[in-house]
Amino acid sequence: MKALILAGGSGTRFWPLSRKARPKQLLALEGERSLLQETVDRLQPLVAPADVWICTTEALAEAVREQLPEVPAGQVLAEPMGRNTCPAIGWAVGLMDAGTEPIAVLPADHRMADDAAFRSILGRAAQAVEEHDYVMTLGVIPRWPETGYGYLELGAELANGLRHVLRFVEKPGLAAAEAYLAGGRHLWNAGIFVFRGTTFLELLAKHQPELAAGLAEIADQPARAAEIYASLPAESIDVAIMEKLDDIATLPLDCGWSDLGSWEALHEILPKDEAGNALRGDALALDSANNLIVSEGGLVAVLGVSDLVVVRTGDTVVVLPKARSQEVRRLVHELAARQRGDLL
């Protein structure tokens, strides 16, 4: 099987550690390896590096190649621009030329606690694709009533533990999320797919003929790639294809998946001292509890504070309550308004 890792994302949730030129997937948030490197590592030995393809942006391609010397440089694809996941996957799958071989599509910035469990499920999904030509999506067994994720609603049981996916459910309200958690018939949509390349391209032609035509045009006239790419409909694979299919299959993942969507989520998965402080880099915490302290530069010393995020990079220090981690984007917007783009 082959793997296609989507590594073009940008975002501000881990600012100031993440920057435009160094987004989340290129950061080593947990250990010494970046999330992208860990995504490739996690596939071994199921998918050899020679069978890994990366779809990223032109701005990040060089950094991606540096982080992944084991992946052939030509398989690090640089999109002319970001147009959401469906054009990216369609374009990359066309270039991969995988035939009927299963392709796993994976985000580059997620975390699994149990890589072996993940590989086992991914291997079973690939087998189901080979045997039955399913389009598979892997869903995560919910651990709390999350309102920030989409869900998969489960239908009938298929062979070998597979389940039919009745429908994709958009981000629910809290009451619905609690019902999903209690009911046992929903999974978190983790954005992980497995399918035959040929099957995907057929579905693309059927459900997104305009996009498929545009990608064919790019293949014919590579010099006009940027111009044509800019005109493609910018839709997610979920909306553009998956939600239109009646016969998607899934396997539930139970491997400590996290999308590491905030500083708070990072605090949850890092090792902590007896007072609940997670310390990365040169950090000292006295009389302090449940803080996340990350330093890329010199010492960060705190005393008498709780439930804070304190992050220090070479040029920037950020302090905010852990529960308000998502609001770090407000600082980013304010700095952009103040013409401080050098810090973003």
Which residues sit at the interface with a second copy, rule CB under 8 A?
16, 284, 286-287, 295, 297-305, 308, 310, 312, 314-321, 324, 327-328, 330-331, 334-335, 338, 340, 343
**Rounded CA gap, 232 and 121, in Å?**
33
Q: Residue 69 or 341: which CB sits closer to a second copy?
A: 341
Classify the C-alpha dihedral 317-320-325-330 as positive or negative.
Answer: negative
Q: Tokens for 322?
A: 């852990």
Which residue lies nearer to a second copy by CB, 198 or 306?
306
Residue whose CB is less far from a second copy, 210 or 315: 315
**Cβ 290 to a second copy, closest distance in Å?**
14
Query: In whole angstroms, how close is the CB of 29 to a second copy at the nearest point?
Result: 19
Structure tokens at 15: 């600012």
In the chain, the amino acid numbered 161 is G
Cβ 39 to a second copy shortest distance, Å: 30
Q: What is the DSSP letter of 19?
A: B
Cβ 314 to a second copy shortest distance, Å: 7
- Closer CB to a second copy, 208 or 295, in the complex: 295
User: And the tokens for 135?
Assistant: 């389009």
Closer Cβ to a second copy, 161 or 298, answer by number: 298
Dump the DSSP string for 125-164: HHHHHHHH--EEEEEEPPSS--SSS-EEEEEEE-GGG-EE
Q: Tell me if 318 sits within 8 A of 311, measured CB to CB.
A: yes
The answer to whether the bond into 45 is cis (omega within 30° of 0) is yes
Phi, psi of 22 (to 5 degrees): -150, 70
Determine the residue type at 317: V
- Least Å from the CB of residue 157 to a second copy: 47
Between 209 and 297, name the residue whose CB sits nearer to a second copy.
297
Angstrom distance (rounded) from CA 264 to CA 258: 12
CA 128, CA 49: separation in Å to the nearest integer?
Answer: 22
Closest contact distance (angstroms) between CB of 300 and a second copy is: 5
